[in-house]
Amino acid sequence: MKLATIRHGATTTAAVAVNGGYLPLPARNLSELLGTPEWKHLVRVATSSHSSPDVIPRTEATLLNPVPAPAKVICCGLNYADHILEMGRDLPEYPTLFAKFADTLTDPDAEITSEHSQSLDWEAELAVIVGTTLRDADEAEAAAAIAGYTVANDVSMRDWQSRTLQWFQGKAFDATTPLGPVMVTPDELDPEAGVQVICTLNGEEVQRGNTMTLVFSCARLLSYISTFTTLRPGDVVLTGTPGGVGMGMVPQRFLRDGDLLRTEIPGIGTLTNTVRIRTRATIQSV
Amino acid sequence: MKLATIRHGATTTAAVAVNGGYLPLPARNLSELLGTPEWKHLVRVATSSHSSPDVIPRTEATLLNPVPAPAKVICCGLNYADHILEMGRDLPEYPTLFAKFADTLTDPDAEITSEHSQSLDWEAELAVIVGTTLRDADEAEAAAAIAGYTVANDVSMRDWQSRTLQWFQGKAFDATTPLGPVMVTPDELDPEAGVQVICTLNGEEVQRGNTMTLVFSCARLLSYISTFTTLRPGDVVLTGTPGGVGMGMVPQRFLRDGDLLRTEIPGIGTLTNTVRIRTRATIQSV
């Protein structure tokens, strides 16, 4: 099943993909839907009883960031063996975690604008969306709590990321992490069996990883995180990026004004984001 | 002016300190109050027109975490020259920032319970509460947007903090950062002129710093943060801890079951937290 947050005319709504388009669900977006305890039941009722006039044709729907209001967006760095090695590090015993905000997220086709950095880099990632509250959960509980999967690009301001020991400030620029275009439920996608994560820049493939090579699986990440903080429906966990980021290239390569960034996970969909660099070597100092 | 979130009987309410106690304000807590654009006006109306029967006697009010629902809790590490030197680092050009969650915060007199770490350390801090939306703000705008100041202890799980390069997982355990007991407005407290930040452990003073020695002032921190992410009313910024943490001692010293942690900023108040260590050398591995 593919769930989405769509704009149709002047309204936004949670929706489920059906033949011919999207069937609206009784919530303004997937954050709100997932916050309803009986959300799976609501989806079942809608899909089993709809008639074709209810369906919004695909051409009339704009796909938005599926979960605009997560209380927690937690990201794992260094989770693909190949990316870890290109960054010159050892395979980790524990997941490296940092946080973003709901404000950091943006729509699957949004422009990504930078005014304060000229070192924007790409990080194609599989993102997990939580469907059930998790606290001190084991991996089986965590696996069962996954609402679905979506695509993310953890676009990073490498200059800000390396200003201090903590990456956070280079990872939390408003509206720089596109998410979407839909959330695919676990019955349709199995990252442990292997899902491709692909990033292309102006048509050139720069990243292609497979979630089979994740050091920490989705369920393991959720279980680990739930040891220290409660995860709730709609929270988002980014699972890390495979090799091929610009910072790892020789010479290093960063996004330029007008670049077209495409982030694809077959079985979910593609993010298509144009980069806008507004700054003229005016990197902000304090 | 001192604003607070108090529990009185079965209800919680935002309140302002007046002679004899607390005067309720029309919001369930300060997060909700600060989210009201005319919050300063509401406070003025309440204080100018109240009669003594409206006042909740101090003995009937329990002071809670003043801002239970911030969308952003951003912390600055390494911001007091003496603490930076004890951690073996150079004075920074940029603030070191990381995030916590609303869930990380707890009440000013709460027990702090650890089940998964035996390396709990103290970090007494001045916290700033945002009163106006800030984006790309200069220092003057940032200073004017400060709703007030409160006391925090950024209690840190040093083992988890040092598991990876990113401190976040050792800083984001649910209900481990006490905040309060009240929010003092800027007309009554001026950290740039110098405010003492004191931590005692079982009566022994372990930290005493002065905000005069902050490398990055409150306004500078808010201005810097607003360069990459929007700050909104009720958001919280922790300004860093002075020297004297347990990890910096020789030998290192961590909190033990039953320890009484007191965190004081004269002019604001005192946090009083008993530590409960529930684990028996069962530090969670993955």
Instruction: Spell out which residues of chain B touch residue A73, defining contact as CB-CB under 8 Å.
Output: none
**Residues present in chain B in total:** 286
What is the number of other CB atoms lying within 10 angstroms of the CB of residue A15?
Answer: 29
Structural domains in chain B, CATH included, are 2-64 (no CATH), 73-277 (3.90.850.10)
**A42-46, B229-233, B277-281: least confident range:** B277-281
A94-to-A146, A153, A245, B170, B261 alpha-carbon distances in Å = 21, 22, 22, 12, 30
Q: What percent of chain B has pLDDT over 90?
A: 89
Q: pLDDT: is B118 or B183 the higher one?
A: B183
Tell me if chain A has a CB within 8 Å of the CB of B220: yes
Partner-chain contact A99 B174, CB within 8 Å: no
The secondary structure element, H or E, covering residue A141 is: helix A139-144
Q: What percent of chain B has pLDDT over 70?
A: 97
User: What is the rounded average pLDDT of the residues B150-156?
Assistant: 98
Q: What pLDDT is attached to residue B49?
A: 80
* Cα A90 from Cα A119, distance rounded (Å): 25
Alpha helices (H) in chain B, listed in sequence order:
30-34, 39-49, 81-86, 139-144, 158-161, 168-171, 218-228
- Residue in B72, B172, B227 nearest the CB of A229: B172
Strands (E), A9-108: 11-18, 21-24, 56-57, 62-64, 73-77, 96-100, 105-106
- How does residue B280 score in pLDDT terms, banded at 50, 70 and 90? low
Tell me if chain B has a CB within 8 Å of the CB of A95: yes
- Quick check: B172 and A228 in contact, CB under 8 A? yes
Interface test with A, best of B164, B222, B235 (most A CBs within 10 A): B164
pLDDT higher than threshold 70 for residue B285 = no
Cis peptide before A26, with omega less than 30 degrees from 0?
no
Write out chain A's pLDDT in tens, 286 residues. 999 999 999 999 999 999 989 999 999 999 999 999 999 999 999 999 877 788 999 999 999 999 999 999 999 998 998 778 777 888 899 999 999 999 999 999 999 999 999 899 999 999 999 999 999 999 999 999 999 999 999 999 999 999 999 999 999 999 999 999 999 999 999 999 999 999 999 999 999 999 999 999 999 999 999 999 999 999 999 999 999 999 999 999 999 999 999 999 999 999 999 999 986 554 444 4
User: What is the rounded average pLDDT of the residues B14-40?
Assistant: 96
Q: What pLDDT is attached to residue B31?
A: 98
* Cα A257 from Cα A112, distance rounded (Å): 10
* Cα A163 from Cα B93, distance rounded (Å): 8
Helix (H, G, I), strand (E, B) or coil at B279: coil
Tell me if chain A has a CB within 8 Å of the CB of B22: no
Q: State chain B's mean pLDDT as an integer.
A: 94
Tell me if chain B has a CB within 8 Å of the CB of A165: yes
Q: What pLDDT is attached to residue A280?
A: 53
Tell me if chain A has a CB within 8 Å of the CB of B143: no
Q: A236 vs chain B: nearest CA distance in angstroms?
A: 14
Alpha helices (H) in chain A, listed in sequence order:
30-34, 39-49, 81-86, 139-144, 158-161, 168-171, 218-228
- In chain B, positions 190-209, which contact chain A (CB-CB < 8 Å)? none
Tell me if chain A has a CB within 8 Å of the CB of B91: no
